[in-house]
A and B are shown apart, each in its own frame.
Chain A
Amino acid sequence: MKVCPISLPNEYDEGLSERKAIFKQYPQAIPGAFGITKTGTAPCKATCPAHVSIQGYIALINEGKYDEALKLFKQDHPFPGICGRVCHHPCEGECTRNEVDQPLAIRELHRFLADYERGRGEYHVPEITAEKRDEKVAIIGSGPAGLTTAYYLLQEGYQVTIFEKLPEPGGMMRVGIPEYRLPRDILAGEIQVIEKMGAEIKCGVTFGKDITLDSLKKDGYSAVYMAIGLHGGRNLGVENEDAEGVLQGVDFLRDAAMGKKVEIGKDVIVVGGGNVAIDVALTAKRLGAENVTLICLERREEMPAWEHEIEEALEGEIKIVNSFGPKNFFIDKNKKVSGIEFKTCTAVFDEEGRFSPQYDEDVCQPFFGDTIIISIGQSTNLEGIKEQGIAVSRPGGLEADPVTFQTPIEWVFAGGDAYYGPKSVVDAVWCGKEAAESIHRYINGMDLKEGREQNWEYVKPDVFDEVKKDRVKVRCLNPEGRECNFLEVSYGYNEEEAKIEADRCLKCGVCSECYQCVEACLAEAVDHEQKPETKEINIGSVILSSGAKPYDPEPLENLYLYKKNPNVMTSLEFERILSASGPTMGHLVRPSDHKEPEKIAWLQCVGSRDTNKCGNTYCSSVCCMYAIKDAMIAKEHSGGNLDCSIFYMDIRSFGKDYELYYNRARDREQIRFVKSRIHSITEDPETRDLILKYADETGAMQEETFNMVVLSVGLEVPDSSLEMAKRLGIEINKHKFVETDPFTPVASSRKGVYTCGIFQGPKDIPASVTEASAAASLAGAEIAEARGTDIKTIELPDEIDIEGQEPRIGVFVCNCGINIAGVVDVPAVQDYAEKLPGVVFTANNLFTCSQDTQEIIKEKIKEEKLNRVVVASCSPKTHAPMFMETLEACGLNRYLFEMANIRNQDSWVHANNPELATEKAKDLVRMAVARSVTLKPLRGKVIPVNKRALVLGGGIAGMNAALDLAKQGFESTLIEKEGQLGGMARKLYHTIEGGDIKAYLEKLNARVASEEKIEVLTNAAVVDFEGFQGNFATRVDINGGEDTREINHGVIIVATGAREYTPKEFLYGEDKRVVTQVELGDRLAQQGAADLETVVMIQCVGSRNEERPNCSKICCQSAVKNALDIKKQNPDAQVFILYRDIRTYGLLEDYYTEARKQGVIFIRFDRDNPPTVGASDDGVLVTVKDHVLQRNIEIGADLLTLSAGVYPSDTEDVSNVMKLNRNSEGYFIEAHVKLRPVDMGTDGVFLCGTAHGPKLVSETIAQANAAASRAVTFLSKDEIKLSAIKAHVDTDHCVKCLTCVRSCPFEVPVFNVATGEVEIDPALCQGCGVCACVCPRQTIQLNYYEDDQIMCNIDALLAGGI
């Protein structure tokens, strides 16, 4: 991560901080591993024929890492300086910056690197890591192709000789490219690198004359590479071409380059329009020609020369004449050329783009000059080549395979211009590289073609709002200064210019493939070659849990100023600000000025319950609670003086105990809740504070200023999930959530495909986790038969008895790459450990956790007969289990192991103080060694699992749980206190969605009755209970004690349900016209609503009050459901719902909207000012203060319906017998609200349905599925191995004071009257050690943390002095 040069916004911090391209999502991420963000290959790298990691070296230039950049460049290309001057840079043509302004000066940037290298006077010579080999390779031609082949073959260890015909090496780079473009010392320097690598270059050796294939074979060469180039010209084939004064361009350039005297006249005509022609023209000018005219067939825009070269020619006062083809030369009487006649060229290419010039012979023009240089093409000199049987292609080049470059003679390879015609240096580099690979494969007898053809596709990022940055211009020698000399025209970039230019890079592929991470990782774990794979897996069921994304409020930027003012944040961004690991390390400051805010407003329902702005009409269910939470945390962070206001429509704190939290926020933490509608937000331009305009409950406009505004954004399903749903063929509802049925809440429309979490519908964490278990249960049921078929068991050797042995301790000190060794002097720690008492072996390892080190540890345990192992490395939390397994694998008890955390607790946190860190490491090792001596072998108790379940409660929850267990193959006993199954559901008719509960119940009853694996006991009550996980025994009385049954079972599912509260208020029970919602439902089903004119409903009866502070969750939807039912049956009936907050969470919001549309009138009342009810002959008179009108209104109702709350039924009895924890309202308590929402604190006991808290039928079913799922994870095991870290009593010294019995938070220690002893059952003990601490005689010890084991830790630590 430190070496990665690419930074990008950190998604985990909502873009409020930066991360590197190589990253770990967040510190606690699982898996805790690093990944690299790669969107693909950058266009530059893909387009470059040599595929240089261009983005990589640019990123490294940005970081000032020039050596690394050079090294990276030279991995793929030997000539940064040469190509830095002469490359035609196709990469720049594809550069994404083209779409913004101008492409990056890619060529100039690597030229900068080469100049840097030259300026330093020391060239980077690639390290040859391969072993030296005996095989020799001959390369014919020292041009770029030949040199590149040598460069790569040398790196493979081969011996390479390059034979060059000319007196100096370099090929066309030496004799074809003029010096003003490519200075000779640059060329020489880069060729020298290849010589330094070991290449032998023999100049003046002509192939076919001085050497032949036969002679080379005789000399022991294993392969030959022919890269002889195109050093001949092409003739025009017109009259008098052989006259004096007519020259060939290639020859002319070569002679000029080699310093030969070339005679030219004052007026020079160059024929040709390619790069060579331009070089010829400019060279002629530099050699003293006064007028140089370049004449070519092509039109200006068709000229084959590169545009920048043409421009340079024009700058050099070269006259360019287009669209003429040579007809014949004029000669004077001395047969010396004096001019040339041209005919007009009407077209150069035919319709298919082939070269096929057409002329108009009638329009001709003469040009006069004393020297005419023909530069229309190049050819290979094949003298002495054909004769050796080397194949020649039709255009007159060498013949070879286009991928492997192997010629028909298998040990001869060919490439470069001689193979493919005139191309640029970088093409030759590509070709040479490929040839080297082929030759290497050929010599090693490998397949030449396998995996060679690579598809170089590239990606371009979105440049939508990219800022324009002009390309840094290259400073050049002014045109006058270029006359009559061969000084280099371009100066290239200096360091500053290079950095400015490099900074323009758009990082197209994100990861730049600079490979710095590969080098930094000592474990060699980074692999850039990994590719996405498509795998086919056979599966029995699918679970869709792709979740949601927060609503993006950017479309509403004008309303909320989001993104316009940095002090307006989404709730998720704000949470990152609050997080201790967030961008401000948990320091609450606002983004605009990093000052602590004094006043923050939360705006609820942004992206939820919104019909006109975003279209998400549902309620996101979670925003009220997280806003309250964030406000509380913000207050805590700021020391309590922060003014927090939450602007809302309804506060929906409907979850278990959520209302208590809301009350605490409002009453104790003084968080202000403002029922309002937001009108607008404006900015104070000076302070960047936000001025909020809103309509309060009475409709009056208010204005208030805040330092920050947090948008409580809702949840929505991302498009990717919808695409997935489409692919899988499952139905999606209108809100884009998976369509489910209320009676099968986690099943999708396609059999075998299940869903859970927010993709199912908006919900909080506990509900999501519950549904996850539910989906697992149903998915597992489909494949229950396959359970356990794919398990591998590990065979362990018998345990070595260490009883009576002296301690023999092995200490393994870990370097952790450089994580520890970079700070702590590891060898010194190892030396220190060696001298500690009991230590018989020490080692230091690069990575102690690696597989091979495990083998070493095993070996040493056996060899050295170690009976204790200490590893000084990292956290036991993450690594101890693995090392303990290593011990077990060689028969050593796993508890004879101890760790010293010299990384997380030392090198990482004391990186600035290596000396003290080393001393601390010694202290920690000394403590660990001392403790290890005191360790004893421990064995966890193994208990068998009784495979039967006991399900308490025969309502919808209990029946579903029992049926699920049966489907998974487990038997159960279902206990119902009533005479028949069904519970509360027997009183209900339909769900709000219209699901027929009665029909469903009937079906459920039938399924239970016909299921052999379920035993139903009705009129049954639990009277006695004992045992522990896997082994419970319960006694049940049937029919009031007529019969008694003893049931042995492994797990319990508690589903005892709830009932409707029987109101004491509002004349209930006194006036028959006052009913509850359940009773109303019954009436509507039995009698209809035709006789009802006015119905009033009062919400929160028996809920959200002093006595029962929590919300009953379901009453709002019950009221809406019945109101809609009344309206359906009798549209003229008036329905009033008097409420405090309407809590139609999730998709229930639709029904609330519908009710309002149908004319149901909702009137809010205040907690402190509830409605009053009086009876009269005309009806029930309800008086309520209307908040909008600010006055009392009186409604006469035919029927007053009370939304009576949900109360748990009979939990007290069950709780007393089974010792299960309940909350103050009587609901059973789950083990952990979020992490274990259907487990109870006692192992092996699970919970579902309304016994856990009020909930809807659909939620009950999901929770029942979940409880069954959790029970199955338990029942599917034959035995349970418990942790050995348990407390035990030394009964000999115990004085039975029973302090432990009173102190244990889990009520585990018991006084056994029969034996007269205090006993701690290891199956029940949680291992916290409280009893061991409170025992006045220290007769209780906690295994692995016995007093002497802690004391020796302290003593060893302090023995070193502090």
Chain B
Amino acid sequence: MRLDYPTNVKIIRVPCTGKVDVMHMLRCFQKGADGVYCVGCLEGTCHYNEGNIRARERVGHVKNLLEEIGIEADRVRMYNLSSGEGPTFAAYAKEMTEHIKALGPNPLKEKLKKAASA
């Protein structure tokens, strides 16, 4: 459908959101990503039965971890849609981008820069 969405969204392909590890999400923040979101199938329609439910739980877990280290928990989110919902995908991409822009840059990024310059 070639629906427009922000260019700062980049997709990392996994076989199922059930394969998205807490470690993967944290690595994104560690390396300077401002936000991370998982897009899974609608709950109840996972090809692998419950991968998206696990992903939702893991996203929740990452939220807690981020909070603990002083990063806004809402920089990580879980979205669900079906493969036929292009417009919804684009809408979520915009929503997430606007949301992250409102939060501002990932605080770790400053530290990364300092570390790099030091």
A contact residues vs B (CB 8 Å cutoff): 27-28, 580-581, 585-586, 876, 901, 905-906, 908-913, 916-917, 919-920, 923-924, 927, 1285, 1305-1306, 1326-1330, 1332-1333, 1342, 1345, 1347, 1350-1351, 1353-1355, 1357-1359, 1361-1362
Contacts and interface: CB of A to CB of B under 8 A. Distances in A.
B10 A1330 contact: no
B28 A1354 contact: yes
Interface string B67-85: 0000000000000000011
B11 interface: yes
B38 to A, nearest CB: 12
A1330 B48 contact: yes
22 contacts: A580-B84, A581-B84, A586-B87, A876-B13, A906-B7, A909-B5, A913-B7, A923-B10, A924-B10, A927-B10, A1305-B49, A1326-B48, A1328-B19, A1328-B51, A1329-B18, A1330-B18, A1333-B18, A1333-B20, A1333-B54, A1350-B21, A1355-B27, A1355-B31
A979 B32 CA distance: 71
Nearest to A907: B2
Interface string B3-39: 1110110111111101111011001100111100000
Interface string B41-83: 0000001111100100010000000000000000000000000
Nearest to A28: B84
Pick the most buried of B5, B10, B51, B87: most chain A CB atoms within 10 A of its CB: B10
Contact of A910 (B4, B12, B47, B49): B4
Contacts of A1305: 48-51
Contacts of A27: 1, 86
Given A1305-B48, A1333-B18, 7 more contacts: A586-B88, A910-B4, A911-B4, A1305-B51, A1329-B51, A1347-B23, A1355-B27
Contacts of A1350: 12, 14, 21, 24
Contact of A580 (B8, B18, B48, B87): B87
Contacts of B16: 1328-1330
B15 A1285 contact: yes
Contact of B14 (A580, A905, A913, A1329): A1329
A1277 to B, nearest CB: 23
B32 A1362 contact: yes
Given A1305-B48, A1350-B14, A1354-B12, A917 B7 contact: yes
Contacts of B34: 1362
Contacts of B84: 28, 580-581
A581 B87 CA distance: 7
Nearest to A924: B10
Contact of B33 (A909, A1328, A1333, A1362): A1362
Contacts of B32: 1358, 1361-1362
Nearest to B109: A1362
Given A913-B7, A1328-B16, A1345-B15, A581 B1 contact: yes
A927 B10 CA distance: 10
B2 A909 contact: yes
B86 A580 contact: yes
Interface residues of B, number: 39
B91 to A, nearest CB: 10
B7 A916 contact: yes
Contacts of A924: 10
A1270 B9 CA distance: 42
Contacts of B85: 580, 586
Interface in B70-118: 84-88, 90
Nearest to B12: A1353
A1103 B1 CA distance: 45
Contact of B86 (A581, A905, A1353): A581
A1351 B22 CA distance: 12
Contacts of B19: 1328-1330, 1332-1333, 1342, 1345
Nearest to B23: A1347
B27 A1354 contact: yes
A769 B49 CA distance: 22
B80 to A, nearest CB: 13
Contact of A1362 (B8, B12, B48): B8
| Majority secondary structure of chain B interface residues (helix, strand, loop or mixed) | loop
Nearest to A1355: B31
A1333 B18 CA distance: 8
Contacts of A1357: 10, 12
A1355 B26 CA distance: 12
B104 to A, nearest CB: 13
A587 to B, nearest CB: 9
Nearest to A921: B7
A675 B13 CA distance: 50
Nearest to B20: A1333
B2 A1328 contact: no
Nearest to A917: B7
B7 A910 contact: yes
Given A1330-B48, A1333-B19, A1345-B19, A1354 B54 contact: no
Contacts of A1326: 48
B25 to A, nearest CB: 9
A1345 B14 contact: yes
A1354 B32 CA distance: 10
Contacts of A911: 2, 4
A566 to B, nearest CB: 23
A908 B2 contact: yes
Contacts of A876: 13
Contacts of A913: 7
A1287 to B, nearest CB: 10
A570 to B, nearest CB: 21
A1116 B5 CA distance: 53
Contact of A1327 (B5, B15, B27): B15
B49 A1354 contact: no
Contacts of A927: 10, 12
A956 B72 CA distance: 62
A912 B48 contact: no
Pick the most buried of B7, B8, B32: most chain A CB atoms within 10 A of its CB: B7
Nearest to B6: A910
Contact of B28 (A910, A1285, A1358): A1358
B21 A585 contact: no
Contact of A1328 (B4, B18, B21, B88): B18
A1328 B28 contact: no
Contacts of B10: 905, 920, 923-924, 927, 1357
B5 A580 contact: no
Nearest to A1241: B49
User: Closest 9 CB pairs between A and B?
Assistant: A1329-B19, A1328-B48, A1358-B31, A1305-B49, A916-B7, A908-B2, A1330-B18, A1328-B16, A1333-B21
Pick the most buried of B3, B33, B49: most chain A CB atoms within 10 A of its CB: B49
B31 to A, nearest CB: 4
Contacts of B3: 909
Contacts of A912: 4
Nearest to A582: B87
Contacts of A1328: 15-16, 18-19, 47-48, 51
A1342 to B, nearest CB: 6
Nearest to A915: B7
A901 B13 CA distance: 11
Nearest to A1361: B32
B62 to A, nearest CB: 12
A1358 B86 CA distance: 26
Nearest to A1328: B48
A919 B7 contact: yes
Contacts of B20: 1333
A242 to B, nearest CB: 80
A919 B5 CA distance: 15
Nearest to A1334: B54
Nearest to B24: A1350
B90 A909 contact: yes
A124 B8 CA distance: 46
Contacts of A1354: 12, 24, 27-28, 31, 33
B57 to A, nearest CB: 11
